[in-house]
Amino acid sequence: MIPFNVPHLVGSEIDNISAALKSRQLSGDRAYSKGCETQLSKWLSDQPSLVVPSGTAALELACIVADFQPGDEVIMPSYTFSSTANAVVLRGGVPVFVDILPGTLNVDPSMVERAVTPKTRGILPVHYAGLVCDMSEICEIAHKNKLVVIEDAAQALGSFYNGQPAGTLGDMAAFSFHETKNIVAGEAGAFTTKHDDWHARAQIIREKGTNRAEFIAGQVDKYSWVDVGSSFLAAEIVCAFLNAQFSHLDTITKRRVEILDHYRAGLKDFESRGWLALQTVPQHCQINGHIACCVLDDRFDREAVMRDLLEKGVQTTSHYVPLHSSTAGRKFGRAGSSMIHTDRAGSQLLRLPIYADLTDVEVDTVLHALDEVLNEHAR
Ligand SMILES: Cc1ncc(COP(=O)(O)O)c(C=O)c1O
């Protein structure tokens, strides 16, 4: 069977974990945690970053730093993970869901603009499949309306927009190192901001609202409670694992991009038969090979296609249940636009296996199985 996802291990994780154990320094913000932040910042054109327990925690931290207040509206795509909206709801804010573009599958900036009200405080674009949203348009809308932009870059580490790294385009960004991501730590994430004062505040919030980081750096003689906060630190053992993964981010990204290119070359033929549509990647966007997806034509029953692919030994999956139609989405948020393309992606988007250890032969096996299954179902 070709599984949908296999986390890639680089080999040196266990040595790093042993070294962390030997150091007897196991809490957060220790050597490996700082090492991850140094490595990540290199990918972010030297923008500082903070390792946190998950992409979800990074989004929650960003929403605290943004100072969202009860009743504040934050515009985001409906086609995303619950964490994007939860982070806003936990501040008492209201997620306003808008549609995606049918080509890029990213939030439609014209829908974002139309959804702005006097209560809007922020925009939360999600870089779906690692493809960076139209950030020029989004940042212009934000600038005109004095809104904070938080990039949900959970899937986008190693992607670029006009040569600029994902995560450095808005005011703040969140990354994920969940086991399905390009580099993994089981569960971990990272926060980054381009504003130095917001970075300093995020450090305090991460440390239970204390200025412990300043104390460790020898800038104050004792530390105390100075702001709201939580425990958004990642444990040293997790960071030791992640540090090893970071050292291979370059080669992992290259391999995933190769696999995605291989898939896209094969799927182009299916697209020309009208069976499916590929995600369109604009010229100025460099994608990180995170997800291999396509949107099946309406004549296909996606679940039946997935079932038949599994019978042929290929595990595939769908993705998000659109948030505007979910139980919590209806309770805590509202739809700010029509949702034609979101609803189509919700019912027709198919994700194929992709991971650094997938071989070219296996990619061909997946393409062959998909050809057979779609051929059968197209009749
Ligand atoms: C778009 C998006 N945002 C946020 C998250 C949350 O990341 P984590 O699982 O690290 O909490 C995910 C996770 O898959 C995601 O896909």
Structural domains of the chain in order of their starting residue, each with its CATH number: 13-248 (3.40.640.10), 250-378 (3.90.1150.10)
Residue 260: what pLDDT? 98
CA of 54 to the centre of ligand 1 (A): 8
Residue 299 Cα to ligand 1 midpoint, Å, equals 31
Nearest-angstrom CA–CA distance, 156 and 160: 8
Confidence (pLDDT) at 101: 98
Q: Give the DSSP letter of residue 100.
A: B
User: What pTM was estimated for this model as a whole?
Assistant: 0.98
- For a mutational test of ligand 1's pocket, the pick from 83, 124, 159, i.e. the residue with the most ligand atoms closer than 8 A to its C-beta, is 83
Alpha helices in the chain (DSSP H): 13-23, 31-43, 55-65, 82-89, 109-115, 135-145, 196-206, 212-216, 236-246, 249-272, 302-311, 327-332, 340-348, 360-378
- The answer to whether the beta carbons of residues 322 and 128 sit under 8 Å apart is no
pLDDT score for 379: 83
Ligand 1 interacting residues, C-beta cut-off 6 A: 54-56, 80-81, 83-84, 126, 152, 154-155, 176, 178, 189
Q: Write the CB contacts of 281 (distance below 8 Å, at least 6 apart in sequence).
A: 104, 131, 287
The Å distance, Cα 217 to ligand 1 centre, comes to: 32
Separation of 329 CA from ligand 1 center, angstroms?
A: 17
Report residues of the chain scoring pLDDT below 50. Answer: none
Which atom number of ligand 1 is nearest to the Cα of residue 128?
1
Instruction: Give pLDDT, residue 40.
Output: 98
